[in-house]
Structure 1
């Protein structure tokens, strides 16, 4: 393996842009420019980002995350226009932001892909897409087999979207794959960006749904509704996704699991409270509060998923799986 320093970057297109180095280990004390990332809060129908400063992350070998071999810089979206498949990449970007509106036959829930992938998949701890293109194929315990990225995306359509799979060679699937490949910025397969997909919460904690309901109404209901119904705009497009009910993700989705949902909530919600860092980029609730509110909303009524009978064939089912 070539372990020489490797820079993978696009130069910022704004003359005043000055990338600032970040490492995941110092994330909680770093201040990022909100203008780059404000498009990715929760499940909003996201506007185009204002591109100013961007952020750097360490590039490391896939087998030794402590070996720093170079730098990855989050690319500015204007650089998509330099790519030979720019139309497909831009279409993929739109599909991830506006999934329900653009693919109504495949999306049963009132959800967009970026309801759970913050800032178009560019934010640490917010389920970023940055390493997705290189991470697959990989073995998935839930299915008990190796899945490629196409199958992983279709799993989200079936579960998080409570919908139907896309044809593997459809222009829509190819466009989403093209966006994720572009976001990887030619990072070699044997290397990865040192960025965490999700935070952690103490899984020894027992959730209290009664307390969690109080937290929900104090911190979450303004955006997600008193009855978990979410908010739509006057055209019927999603502003904030529903957290339970017929239009929410189904029971087979990862977000229907208490501890997975708690980690997402702790590090990404609620909105509009932080005075430093990303707009609404979490770290407001304690682990216990996050587990409590997740225990509340994950156990509220939601669509079933018939395919759940085939999950975890090894029998090693995580304790927060509801079926």
Structure 2
């Protein structure tokens, strides 16, 4: 894994998501919750040869040579994203307090060490998965509504909003090759 500069096992990858993308705490490796997630992922991959690359239909690349326009990204955000993610990026919770649409910035959002805090990483997700509910063809949430430029602009807008820090970021990219969109 380039960010850590070493091979990371499945438990480490899951905990990376908990600590960065969810801005939470790692699970004990032997906990029932961790073992359930590992078992589920092993079950999902049971008929896939070990070194086979898996094609994912809702993922892809965006043009990383594009220069982001934050003002344009803000317009796109309020036109396409705020309905679900909130006018202040706060996300949306249901009546039980469970997250329906995650916050994109603020104290409850992913932290600065998450991949989504990187413009082009976020743009690739946004391009192929968002916005939800406005397509008339294909499955709900299958993206390809925004252009690469739209996705880069809106991602630059929300990725650079205030969010929690990640103290462990000081250990990222120990072998170099830090991506140009990393904020630290």
Which residue matches 2:147?
286
Asked whether the equivalents of residues 113 and 165 of structure 2 are also in contact (C-alpha less than 8 Å), the reply is yes
Which residue matches 1:210?
71
Gaps of 5+ in 1: 1-139
Distance 1:257 1:193 in 2: 24
Secondary structure of the 1:147 match is coil
4+ residue runs over 4 A deviation: none
Gaps of 5+ in 2: none
Which residue matches 2:35?
174
Structure 1 residue 185: Cα displacement: 3.1
1:258 and 2:119 are equivalent in the alignment: yes
Distance 1:160 1:275 in 2: 30
Residues 205 and 179 of structure 1, relative CA distance in 2, 3 Å threshold: same
RMSD value over aligned CA atoms? 1.2
Secondary structure of the 1:169 match is coil
1:161 and 2:22 are equivalent in the alignment: yes
Structure 1 residue 194: Cα displacement: 3.5
Choose the corresponding residue for 1:273, options 126, 130, 134: 134
Secondary structure of the 1:263 match is helix
Q: After superposing the two structures, state which structure 1 stretch, 194-203 or 283-292, moved more.
A: 194-203
Q: After superposing the two structures, state which structure 1 stretch, 260-269 or 196-205, moved more.
A: 196-205
Residues 178 and 259 of structure 1, relative CA distance in 2, 3 Å threshold: same
Which residue matches 2:80?
219
Deviations 1:99-148 (A, max 9, x none): xxxxxxxxxxxxxxxxxxxxxxxxxxxxxxxxxxxxxxxxx010011111
Structure 1 residue 309: Cα displacement: 0.5
TM-score by length of 1: 0.55
Number of paired residues?
184
Deviations 1:191-236 (A, max 9, x none): 3434367311100001111100000000000000000000111111
| Larger strand percent | 1
TM-score by length of 2: 0.96
1:187 and 2:48 are equivalent in the alignment: yes
Aligned counterparts, 1:58-137, within 5 A: none
Residues 196 and 144 of structure 1, relative CA distance in 2, 3 Å threshold: farther
Asked whether the equivalents of residues 82 and 89 of structure 2 are also in contact (C-alpha less than 8 Å), the reply is yes
